[in-house]
Amino acid sequence: MIKRVVLVEPKAPDRHVFSRWKLPRLGLTLLGTRLKEAGYDVKVYVEDVAPVDFDEFFSADLVGVSTITSTAPRAYEFARAARRAGIPVIMGGPHVTFLTDEALQHCDYVLRGEADDLVVEFVRRLDAGEGLETMPSLSWRAGDHTVHNPAAGGCVDVEALPAPDLALVQGYDTSARGGNVLPIQTSRGCPFDCKFCSVTKMFGRAYRFQSTEKVMAQLRPMRGRYVFIYDDNFTANRARAKDLCRAMIREKLHLKWSAQVRCDAAADQELLDLMAEAGCYYVYIGMESVSPATLKCYDKRQSVEEIERAIREFDRRGIRIHGMFIFGADEDTVETVRETVRFARCHPIVSAQFMILTPLPGTVVFDEMDRQGRLLTRDWSLYDAHRVVFRPRRMSTLELQVETLRAFGAFYSLRAALRRLARLDWFSLFIKLWGRHSARESRRRLADYVEVTREWAQKKGRQVEVRARKTADDIKIAIARFDLDRLRRRRQKQ
């Protein structure tokens, strides 16, 4: 009989934009909340927050593992460990939704897509030992073959979802004393369909959002705290965003909150005024590039002028900006990458994220590159947006890898930090110094992978073995070679 359920979100293989703030993604927590409400004893382990208690793990009656692409290898390790112990394993998340047959080599069941309305019913049927053949969106092993049941019809009604019980996340301190930023998600889906993004294929293009009162009920206990809104596009419905901001102002929650938005939000002056008054202090904007050809290649549906307007309007209201850029589009060259970095340095962007285009399963980019034979490895742990895993069109693998590392170093320069110091902007100064430290760490951490991309470039993109991480001495040699190459090019220009 199933009573104890352990849910696991494996840690990422490397640092990422949220590494400093230990934020659990809310999908797994919502599933745990649903199971708890149904009477099950549930524990949620998010490895980026706290390690898994293996005594609890191996005493579970059912193990659930959620995974994105970069965490898939570790997720499969957890699944295999549970199966060896005789514990049934179910997996979910974007990666296994799109590569279900691969996942079923390591686990017993996969719930594809949104599982919020399905998870409790699945556990009940599994416990009863019947009904799996009609369970919507379930893929499972039946003897020597796999079965993919038809997908559940329609999208999850986000208004009917419970507030995620963060207390289920082991080791996550939600008290003010803990100092954690609290996460909340108020919508799903995105009306846009960028080629590198899997959100629409996972959650659909129908933008669904919770009512203002539903969101406020979750925000009231967070009064006076720092909050991150997980929505893929918080301002996709501007009327709704305004109504929520007015409610936060009216109730004087004194929140400091941040959210992900598109540049087009800046076209609505009233919306930005309300966001600032409601306590928005940081926005994460997907700018991607300042090359019109690259933006068109990504099907981003925004212009450089819109990017500049967004930076200007948010900065004018004292809302800090985190710019997100992606290098490696088919139209990108070394020069377009450098021009994008110059743009970021010359505008009031407090923090920036320079990522390498990563062909994630479930995206148009993945399908195209897979069909064209441009994927250089299927080691999913390398699909972290810090490493080149495909053959670029107009750059070598080495150029793309090195230019991305240089972008971080150039943006988080000592000069940029000193400019913030001169303005006595202590928060931004801290971000710049932390970014400078992270950029230097990234260069050291990725020095061995620079050598892998060098070998790929020399072999013109043919498959090469991605070696295990080098020893400390090897990494020092790789860094020295990286610096010598850069010095040699600088002298040639002079």
CA–CA dist 337, 326 (Å, integer): 9
Whether 334 shows a pLDDT value over 70: the answer reads: yes
pLDDT of res. 423:
77
pLDDT of res. 79:
96
Q: Is pLDDT larger for residue 173 or for residue 204?
A: 173
Mean per-residue pLDDT for 476-482?
39
Whether 21 shows a pLDDT value over 70: the answer reads: no
Whether 163 shows a pLDDT value over 90: the answer reads: yes
Q: Is pLDDT larger for residue 18 or for residue 140?
A: 140
pLDDT of res. 58:
95
Mean per-residue pLDDT for 165-188?
88
- Helices 426-445, 447-458: axis angle to 10 degrees equals 50
Whether 144 shows a pLDDT value over 90: the answer reads: no
Label residue 483 by pLDDT band (50, 70, 90). Answer: very low
Computed over every residue of the chain, the mean pLDDT equals 89
Label residue 374 by pLDDT band (50, 70, 90). Answer: very high
Mean per-residue pLDDT for 311-340?
97
Whether 18 shows a pLDDT value over 80: the answer reads: no
Q: Is pLDDT larger for residue 12 or for residue 172?
A: 172
pLDDT of res. 178:
64
For every residue of the chain, which 3-state class applies, written as one string?
CCCEEEEEECCCCCCCCCCCCCCCCHHHHHHHHHHHHCCCEEEEEECCCCCCCHHHHCCCCEEEEECCCCCHHHHHHHHHHHHHCCCCEEEECHHHHHCHHHHCCCCCEEECCCCCCCHHHHHHHHHHCCCHHHCCCEEEEECCEEEECCCCCCCCCHHHCCCCCHHHECCCCCCHHHCCCEEECCEECCCCCCCCCCHHHHHCCCCEECCHHHHHHHHHHHCCCEEEECCCCCCCCHHHHHHHHHHHHHCCCCCEEEEEECHHHHHCHHHHHHHHHHCEEEEEEEEECCCHHHHHHCCCCCCHHHHHHHHHHHHHCCCEEEEEEEECCCCCCHHHHHHHHHHHHHCCCCEEEEEECCCCCCCHHHHHHHHHCCECCCCHHHCCCCCCCECCCCCCHHHHHHHHHHHHHHHCCHHHHHHHHHCCCHHHHHHHHHHHHHHHHHHHHCHHHHHHHHHHHHCCCCCCCCCCCCCHHHHHHHHHHHHHHHHHHHHHHC
Q: Mean pLDDT lowest for which of 92-96, 165-169, 425-429?
A: 425-429
Q: Is pLDDT larger for residue 141 or for residue 242?
A: 242
Q: Is pLDDT larger for residue 107 or for residue 413?
A: 107
Give per-residue pLDDT as tens, 461-474: 444 444 434 433 44
pLDDT of res. 326:
96
Whether 419 shows a pLDDT value over 90: the answer reads: no
Give per-residue pLDDT as tens, 53-95: 999 999 999 999 999 999 999 999 999 999 999 999 999 999 9
**Which part of the chain is CATH 3.40.50.280?**
4-142
**Which part of the chain is CATH 3.20.20.70?**
181-357
Name the CATH superfamily, with its identifier, for domain 4-142: Cobalamin-binding domain (3.40.50.280)
Q: Is pLDDT larger for residue 142 or for residue 30?
A: 30
Label residue 15 by pLDDT band (50, 70, 90). Answer: low
Label residue 257 by pLDDT band (50, 70, 90). Answer: very high
Q: Which amino acid, residue 152?
A: A
Whether 493 shows a pLDDT value over 80: the answer reads: no
Provide the whole-model pTM: 0.88
If one looks up domain 181-357 in CATH, what number appears?
3.20.20.70
pLDDT of res. 173:
87
pLDDT of res. 484:
41
What percent of the chain is predicted at pLDDT more than 70?
90
Give per-residue pLDDT as tens, 219-248: 999 999 999 999 999 999 999 999 999 999
Give per-residue pLDDT as tens, 90-137: 999 999 999 999 999 999 999 999 999 999 999 999 999 999 999 999
Whether 482 shows a pLDDT value over 50: the answer reads: no
Mean per-residue pLDDT for 274-302?
96
| Selection from 164-168, 206-210, 421-425 with the highest mean pLDDT | 164-168
Whether 33 shows a pLDDT value over 50: the answer reads: yes
Mean per-residue pLDDT for 43-51?
94
pLDDT of res. 190:
80
Residue 324's contacts (CB-CB under 8 Å, 6 or more residues apart) are 284, 285, 286, 287, 288, 352, 353, 355
